[in-house]
Structure 1
């Protein structure tokens, strides 16, 4: 698998190697950290052979709902607009001139709903992955190394010193260790994630921003988990 250490500021790669106890503990709590603060601002970069997509917005990890602006890159503007999603549905509000940031209160009309596709769509896979980066409890630190999690190097993201670690195999798919790469700070804060999805050669990149998180207001027809 290709090693991704491109966060800027100079990277140090000497892995892979087994996680230390401290590293395993930080990887185990990184998703819980997102849940603990309720939500994070995110930028999701989605690859595509016909041009990529970028979603700039926020994810509410307790309500399991995301909201933001989607823009095309190297393609026409037909996919541009506002987007809000849950684990099962995607709501889009097309806009010919999408703003840089989504309005705090979603428009009351003009939304179109469709099911979130479980496979075959890099965008939908990216949205689903973004929601899964929060958990209401830490992972089992002892099991992470046993299931293939590893340390790959050190890096910097927006001035933050981080360790780069790969996650374990998925519970339902053996042999998937290393598909997800995390940039994790000294206190377990998640700063960046790169994930390979089946439908694309290039990875999805989810970067957590420094902008203040604003609680996600549900668009018409969207019901947060809690």
Structure 2
């Protein structure tokens, strides 16, 4: 599998040691059961089947955190939302849209709680998505990688180091916390990313450390209704 988004994450220097919430039930890690392996294998495909999902991405930075509230279209490989600083000034606040290679930002002095369904027609600034040294860009790329147009190979997951870590509750949903397998071509990376997955394979949370920060990126899949992502002017879906 793409290490369940670890392959993309590896490209941006993701390496992780993740801690399960203190309220989680201790017990793991242990080998996956066949049911757990099957659910881990389909969790990215579930996102792709849904087309897209509402997300909240919490990003640690040296100057204080950033929170992106928005949505990811897993079929188009396109994300869109509002970015706000936490514990820092508002210079980074505004709208953000991204694909696998490019980030588009639209500064807004008083950023709204949610991005408008139709992106503004002008005022966007374009830059390349950084493949190293930016926890924000790492988080954006990881988020795009959490959808896949086919299930992963359930038989290979345990062989490559995927494991059951514990149980937890997210948004009223009982979930298993499952660590992902080693990234392809990167021995020793098993467990770099952890997934909070319910009984039907739906993903509720993902945590991964990025090389540029000691704290993990956290991606929450919200109960908010998914609003399809419309490309801003000059923004193309990922090929």
The TM-score by the shorter chain falls in which range?
A: over 0.9
- 1:86 pairs with one of 99, 118, 139: 99
Instruction: After TM superposition, give the deviation of residue 225 of structure 1 in Å.
Output: 3.5
Instruction: After TM superposition, give the deviation of residue 38 of structure 1 in Å.
Output: 0.2
1:1-226 superposed matches below 5 A: 1-6=17-22, 10-225=23-238
Gap runs ≥5 in structure 1: none
Runs of 4+ in 1 over 3 A off after TM superposition: none
Instruction: After TM superposition, give the deviation of residue 174 of structure 1 in Å.
Output: 1.3
TM-score using structure 1 length: 0.97
> When the two structures are aligned, how many residues end up with a matched partner?
223
Question: Greater relative contact order: 1 or 2 (C-alpha under 8 angstroms, separation 6 or more)?
Answer: 2
Instruction: After TM superposition, give the deviation of residue 2 of structure 1 in Å.
Output: 4.8
Measured in 2, the distance between the counterparts of 1:198 and 1:78 equals 24
3-state secondary structure, aligned to 1:14 = coil
3-state secondary structure, aligned to 1:58 = strand
3-state secondary structure, aligned to 2:55 = strand
Cα distance per residue 1:40-75 (max 9 Å; x no partner): 000000001210000000000000000000000011
TM-score using structure 2 length: 0.92
CA RMSD of aligned residues (A): 1.0
3-state secondary structure, aligned to 2:27 = strand
Measured in 2, the distance between the counterparts of 1:225 and 1:204 equals 22
Measured in 2, the distance between the counterparts of 1:58 and 1:2 equals 24
Instruction: After TM superposition, give the deviation of residue 172 of structure 1 in Å.
Output: 2.8
